[in-house]
């Protein structure tokens, strides 16, 4: 690894902790974030040439604090300066422990910052954007490109999110709210990963940068909560799913379904790590949705050939999953497993039961088309493939669905 790459990795790891330390101390998100960005730029220029400081995080906090002080001193109007100083003065809700206690900046600031970015007052889209910006360290332009929106639109979305959380105490939720708030954090990380693994729109099926960022952030959360089964299960699910990414597309970007993938291209190291995490997650308490989904992914990944897949066990796990949460997409996955165990006609009956909940969703029609094709109904399959292709914004999925329809016999 080159020194420049080492510095980049170090900065990305420390950035949320530095931002969290400043927000905790001063209680002003925007000003603190600007100061941290300047400190990161200074480090990116100096560290590759001069070498790493003995305490990189402390160096960044010190420089960012100076930049924040410089920003206050540069205010031209005295009244404006006094108002800004007042706004940035540490308040009880934002300060570290009371006098007499000492608290150094810690890894816990990353988790606290995640809780802030995933605050319930924000919409899911705003939670994702603010998390990628403040905790992930992505630029506004990078986030905009990932979501296929203009940079100005994304900047406005992030700015509104910051305004909504302004004044929110920088502290972890009280114990009675913590589980619910952690669930929101994990859901946001899951959304980021899903958008990276299978983009909902655009030219590319897979956005590796988003998927990798979701995995990195989930690893950070697990480092803070190593015995939290939901976190371990989510990380396992991400690793086991992303392990197949190299085999999911062909040389021209075309989608390759799971049963047709070249399994020699799957990442066996990621599969081994993910499978070990599944076993660990299932031992850490009652199995939740992430743990069960990870166990399903492990069964797929551990089959050497598509025909070796343990579908009865997968169906049993889906039965557990749909009991945990009323999720129509989980029920759609169960319908596929049911068809693989009991035949395509039985699976179609399960699909019909989901019509009201998933009407118009391209995945419902795509699964229906696949089962109709297996059941020997090419006309019905062709029509379903056409409806599915008309309902998705993902160009690789459109091409795949049209190709499946075109190869059916007349």
Residue pLDDT, tens place only, 289-342: 999 999 999 999 999 999 999 999 999 999 999 988 778 899 999 999 999 999
Domain count, the chain: 3
In a domain? residue 216: no
Quick one: which of 15, 43, 34 has its CA closest to 72?
34
Q: Indicate whether 332 and 396 sit together in one domain.
A: yes
- How many CB atoms are closer than 10 A to CB 110? 23
Residue 311 in any domain: the answer is no
Q: Of 35, 44, 26, 178, which Cα lies nearest the Cα of 93?
A: 26
Instruction: Confirm whether 218 is domain-assigned.
Output: no
What is the per-residue pLDDT for 271? 97
Show which of 32, 63, 92 is a domain's final residue: 92
The answer to whether residue 267 sits within a structural domain is no
**CA proximity to 278, closest of 310, 248, 239, 249:** 239
Continuous H helices in 225-361: 229-242, 268-282, 289-302, 311-324, 328-342, 344-352, 355-358
8 Å CB contact between 265 and 246: yes
| Position 305 in a domain | no
Residue 2 confidence class, pLDDT cut points 50, 70, 90: low
pLDDT band at 56 (very low <50, low <70, confident <90, very high): confident
The yes-or-no verdict on residue 77 having pLDDT over 80 is no
Condensed to tens digits (0 to 9), the pLDDT of residues 78-128 reads: 445 445 544 554 443 333 333 333 344 455 678 888 888 889 899 988 998
Pairing of strands 201-202, 393-394: parallel
CB-based contact 314:301 (threshold 8 Å): no
Q: Are 344 and 382 within one domain?
A: yes
Among 37, 62, 92, where does a domain finish? 92
Same domain, 77 and 112: no
Using alpha carbons, list the distances in angstroms from residue 218 to 7, 126, 188, 236.
Answer: 21, 19, 10, 10
Which residues form the domain of 139?
108-171+190-203
Q: To 5 degrees, how large is the angle CA 361–CA 367–CA 368?
A: 90
Instruction: Spell out the residues 6+ positions from residue 265 whose beta carbon is closer than 8 angstroms to its own.
Output: 246, 247
Q: What is the DSSP letter of 252?
A: T
Is there a domain that residue 81 lies in?
Answer: yes
């Amino acid at each position: 690894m080159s020194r420049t790459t080492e510095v980049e990795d170090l900065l990305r790891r420390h950035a949320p902790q530095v931002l969290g330390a400043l927000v905790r101390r001063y209680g002003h998100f925007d000003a603190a974030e600007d100061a941290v960005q300047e400190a990161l730029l200074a480090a990116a220029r100096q560290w590759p040439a001069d070498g790493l400081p003995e305490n990189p995080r402390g160096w960044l906090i010190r420089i960012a604090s100076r930049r924040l002080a410089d920003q206050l001193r540069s205010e031209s109007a005295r009244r404006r300066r006094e108002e800004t100083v007042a706004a940035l003065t540490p308040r009880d809700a934002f300060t570290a422990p009371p006098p007499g206690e000492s608290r150094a900046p810690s890894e816990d600031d990353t988790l606290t910052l995640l809780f802030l970015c995933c605050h319930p007052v924000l919409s899911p889209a705003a939670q994702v954007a603010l998390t990628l910006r403040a905790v992930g360290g992505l630029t506004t332009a990078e986030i905009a490109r990932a979501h296929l929106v203009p940079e100005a639109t994304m900047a406005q979305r992030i700015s509104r999110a910051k305004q909504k959380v302004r004044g929110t105490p920088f502290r972890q939720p009280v114990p009675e709210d913590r589980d619910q708030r952690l669930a929101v954090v994990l859901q946001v990380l899951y959304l980021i990963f899903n958008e990276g693994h299978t983009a909902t729109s655009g030219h590319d099926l897979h956005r590796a940068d988003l998927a990798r960022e979701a995995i990195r952030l989930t690893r950070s959360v697990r480092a803070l909560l190593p015995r939290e089964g939901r976190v371990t299960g989510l990380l396992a699910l991400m690793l086991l799913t992303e392990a197949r990414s190299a085999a999911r597309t062909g040389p021209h970007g075309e989608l390759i379904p799971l049963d047709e993938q070249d399994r020699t291209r799957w990442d066996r190291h990621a599969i081994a790590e993910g499978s070990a995490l599944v076993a660990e997650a299932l031992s850490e308490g009652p199995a939740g949705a992430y743990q069960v989904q990870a166990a399903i992914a492990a069964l797929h990944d551990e089959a050497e050939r598509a025909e070796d897949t343990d579908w009865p066990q997968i169906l049993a796990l889906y039965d557990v999953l749909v009991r945990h949460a009323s999720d129509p997409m989980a029920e759609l996955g169960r319908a596929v497993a049911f068809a693989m165990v009991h035949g395509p006609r039985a699976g179609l009956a399960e699909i019909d039961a989901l019509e009201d909940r998933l009407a118009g969703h391209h995945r419902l029609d795509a699964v229906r088309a696949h089962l109709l094709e297996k059941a020997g109904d090419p006309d019905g399959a062709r029509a379903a493939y056409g409806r599915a292709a008309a309902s998705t914004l993902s160009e690789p999925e459109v091409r795949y669905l049209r190709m499946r329809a075109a190869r059916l016999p007349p």
